[in-house]
Amino acid sequence: MNQTDVLCIGNAIVDVITHAEEDVLAAHGLAKGAMMLIDEERADYLFAAMGPTSVISGGSAGNTAAGLASLGGRAAFFGKVRDDDLGRLYRHDIRAAGVTFETAPATEGPATARSFIFVTPDGERTMNTYLGACQNLTEADIDAVAVEAAGITYLEGYLWDPPAAKLAFRKAAGLAHRSGGRVALTLSDSFCVDRYRDEFLGLVREGLVDILFANEHELKSLYQTADFDTALAALQSETTAAGFLAAVTRSEQDALAVTRERTVSAPVFPIDRLVDTTGAGDLFASGFLFGLSRERELADCLRLGALAAAEIIQHVGARPERRLSDLAAEVGLA
Amino acid sequence: MNQTDVLCIGNAIVDVITHAEEDVLAAHGLAKGAMMLIDEERADYLFAAMGPTSVISGGSAGNTAAGLASLGGRAAFFGKVRDDDLGRLYRHDIRAAGVTFETAPATEGPATARSFIFVTPDGERTMNTYLGACQNLTEADIDAVAVEAAGITYLEGYLWDPPAAKLAFRKAAGLAHRSGGRVALTLSDSFCVDRYRDEFLGLVREGLVDILFANEHELKSLYQTADFDTALAALQSETTAAGFLAAVTRSEQDALAVTRERTVSAPVFPIDRLVDTTGAGDLFASGFLFGLSRERELADCLRLGALAAAEIIQHVGARPERRLSDLAAEVGLA
């Protein structure tokens, strides 16, 4: 048995979240639903311009790790903060969530990363991320012992943004495979796919990725089509390797698990009120990976993902407010 | 017409909020539902011991000011932060809420105040407050022009905790009365009443307070009785001055407005799910004071208070997530 179910590697980011009307997005040139990278000057500008905030630890892979732990999984995280107040907050929060986190904080250089998130009344989130200390995640931060102890090593596509992290990513994937582990990748964001399409496709085709996560928009961006079925067919034709697996989410439509042999679907869970979609994909990955680590049926993996996503979108922030293992027990998925 | 509807004066505190099971309170010696004052060492201990957090600006009077602005009122706030990251967050948040906030930050001395808040599954909050920079609010921070411009000056009982703030409180009350304004006081917390009972009763009896806010527990503590009706009768006998007004909340039971002539009651608003009671009393005060400033009937003032409280207890944190003026319009209270 692996010591860790899933090791997550990503940008360690503190979310600074506000509610905003649609016209605020237009006024500041924000592309609704996307993650845009910003520099320090733009960060200062947006912070001054935004409404009252909630500050909650975030970052895609970090959210996934926190969700895994909340489900009862053994999760670890690699990510780079600075040794500043927000960095200490980040470290506190991810450890308090039950995630093993030992990446040394940067003692110099840019501050801990922040994402300025505007949540519109429809619950959609628009993210503006200052990467800061994430730029300093390097190969040296990839602790081989920790990677080798993990059944699955999960990487976020956003890691392609800070230049050095890409090498860390490849090192981790190589170590995982050599120790018999599986490598998972989330495409993160359709604009991110746009920036690194060929590289992401290359990772899949060279067999560096065993489990691929994408939402509908990212999948369409990957295959440069406006038609979901076309994109899905392209994905299905990609799954030539035995054991390759893709999980595709489609907002409130059924989620899909795609293998060489078959495509399985499962419905989402009904919710009372959509508050903030931040972390929906990250928490879907938590549930799906937790299911995989417990060798559950693919339909159950999808349902666990949908359950975790349903919890996260009913409140502000991308870290669970309720214990996901309790929710899973309530619906008979524990 | 006054330039400001309500000027709120209180401790400027950033809330660090976590969800916790009941046994966590016992394990750390926390008195459920209360606000306990802590020193820096205890703050470090509790932060290390607590679960994942949401960091959201708070402080009783600051919350009331934010709620007033969300209802469309003209609100101002006096409170002391340090010129550190949390202090900048606090200033940003209260200004972004639409509140006028000009108190100069402390450039030395203790850090911006933090309250470590444990929210149990029943929604009750237990607060542990490190007062930090609030200790440095003094008479010099009471800007006479701002006080004279306000129709109501609202003060929190918690101001009795930092020693110098008490003098600031008296200065503000005196200035308010000299310019024809009214002075409101919230009793804040039953333990706070326990600490300063005679002084609070003295403030009422010497006519320094025109509008008194209390919840059931605070009122019982004020009159040292376990029986609500006894406490209410004592309060009613207190209202000898024409124009003296008390507002009493009782959790999910009807709220009461008490004057020399009569006692008016109004029901609370139904909610979907109780998440976090932090700020319930503060937001009740927002609605009630907003109604008073608009010269609404007392029953409407109570309903506005209940409406604002209902919004705040359905999510984490004590600052409104929805625009309260919209909610008021929806229920015909605008």
pLDDT at A1: 64
Our CA-based measurement puts residue A36 at a distance from the nearest CA of chain B, in whole angstroms, of 22
Nearest by CB to residue A96, choosing from B51, B56, B315, is: B51
Do A284 and A309 meet the contact criterion of CB atoms below 8 Å apart?
yes
Helix, strand, coil percentages (3-state) for chain A, rounded to 5, are 40, 20, 35
Interface check B315 vs A, CB under 8 A? yes
Q: Within an 8 Å CB–CB cutoff, is residue A181 touching chain B?
A: no
Which residue on chain B is closest to A52 by alpha carbon?
B93
Is B122 an interface residue toward A (CB < 8 Å)?
no
Residue A139 in tokens: 């190969």
Test mutation, A18, A28, A47, A55, chain B, max B CBs within 10 A: A55
Closest CA to B33 of B126, B129, B157, B158: B126
Which of A19, A84, A93 is closest, CB to CB, to B321?
A: A19
- Report pLDDT for A171: 96
Nearest CB to B50 within list A84, A86, A96: A96
For residue A94, which residues of chain B lie inside 8 Å, CB to CB? 52
Neighbours of A123 (CB within 10 A): 16
Distance (Å, rounded) from C-alpha B287 to C-alpha B324?
A: 9
Q: Where are the domains of chain A?
A: 4-11+60-82+133-330
Distance from A54 to chain B by nearest Cα, in Å? 5
Query: Which of B53, B94, B315 lies nearest to residue A93, judging by beta carbons?
Result: B53
Contacts of B89 in chain A (CB under 8 A): 53, 55
Residues B229 and B112: their CA atoms lie apart, in Å, by: 40
Q: Is the pLDDT of residue B140 over 70?
A: yes
- Strands, sheet with B54-57, edge to edge from the N-terminal-most edge strand: A35-37, A125-130, A113-119, A13-19, A54-57, B54-57, B13-19, B113-119, B125-130, B35-37
CA distance B303 to B120: 27
In Å, how far are B101, B247, B263 from A250, measured between CA atoms? 44, 50, 55
DSSP E strands in A89-209: the ranges are 100-101, 113-119, 125-130, 150-156, 182-186
Distance from CA of A118 to the nearest CA of B (A): 12
Per-residue pLDDT, B240: 73
Of the candidates B17, B10, B8, which has an alpha carbon nearest to the alpha carbon of residue B318? Answer: B17
Residues of A in Cβ contact (< 8 Å) with B50: 96
For residue range B251-308, list pLDDT tens digits in order.
999 999 999 889 999 999 999 999 999 999 999 999 999 999 999 999 999 999 999 9
Select from A47, A86, A316 the Cβ nearest to the Cβ of B315: A316
Enumerate residue ranges in chain A where pLDDT < 70: 1
Give the tokens for residue A73. Answer: 């999984």
> What's the pLDDT score for residue B1?
64
SS3 at position A232: helix
Interface test with A, best of B19, B55, B326 (most A CBs within 10 A): B55
Give me Rg for the CA atoms of chain A: 18
B167: Cα separation from own chain's centroid: 19
- CA separation for the pair B296, B311 (Å, rounded): 21
Q: Which of A315, A314, A251 shows the shortest CA–CA distance to A284?
A: A251
Q: List CB contacts (< 8 A) between A276 and chain B.
A: none
Those residues with Cβ within 8 angstroms of residue B81's Cβ, 6 or more apart along the chain or in another chain: B12, B87, B90, B91, B103, B105, B106, B112, B113, B133
Q: Does A18 lie at the interface with B, CB-CB under 8 angstroms? A: yes
Report pTM: 0.94
| Average pLDDT of the residues of chain B | 96
Name the residue among A111, A112, A174, A167 with its Cα closest to residue A141: A167
- The Cα–Cα gap between B183 and B155 comes to 8
- pLDDT tens sequence across A256-285: 999 988 999 999 999 999 999 999 999 999
Q: Which of B19, B55, B322 sits opposite A55 (nearest CB)?
A: B55
Report CB contact under 8 Å: A96, B321: no
Tell me which H or E stretch contains A56: strand A54-57
> How many angstroms away from the CA of B46 is the closest CA of chain A?
12
Closest residue in chain A to residue B95, using alpha carbons only: A52
Nearest alpha-carbon partner for B169 in B193, B238, B240, B177: B177
Query: What integer pLDDT is reported at residue A145 of this predicted model?
Result: 97
Across the A/B interface, how many CB contacts are shorter than 8 Å? 76
CB B92 to CB A18 under 8 A? no
Span B4-330 CATH architecture: 3-Layer(aba) Sandwich (3.40)
Residues in chain A closer than 8 A to B93 (CB atoms): 52-53
Instruction: Name the phi and psi angles at A302, rounded to 5.
Output: -60, -45
Adjacent-strand bridge partners of A114: A14, A130
Q: Does this complex have an ipTM over 0.95?
A: no
Query: Looking at residue A266, what is its pLDDT?
Result: 98
Return d(Cα B320, Cα B19) in angstroms, integer.
Answer: 19
Topology of domain A4-11+60-82+133-330, per CATH?
UDP-N-acetylmuramoyl-L-alanine:D-glutamate ligase (3.40.1190)
Q: Is B279 helix (H, G, I), strand (E, B) or coil?
A: coil
pLDDT digits 0-9 by tens, B201-256? 999 999 999 999 999 999 999 999 999 999 999 999 887 777 899 999 999 999 99
The answer, for A27 touching chain B at a CB cutoff of 8 Å, is no
Query: Is the CB of residue A144 less than 8 Å away from at least one CB of chain B?
Result: no
The whole-number pLDDT of residue B52 equals 97
DSSP state, B248? E
- B22 has a chain A CB within 8 A of its CB: no
Distance CA B76, CA B61 (A): 10
Question: Is B54 touching A (CB cutoff 8 A)?
Answer: yes
Give dist(CA B57, CA B53) in Å, integer. 13
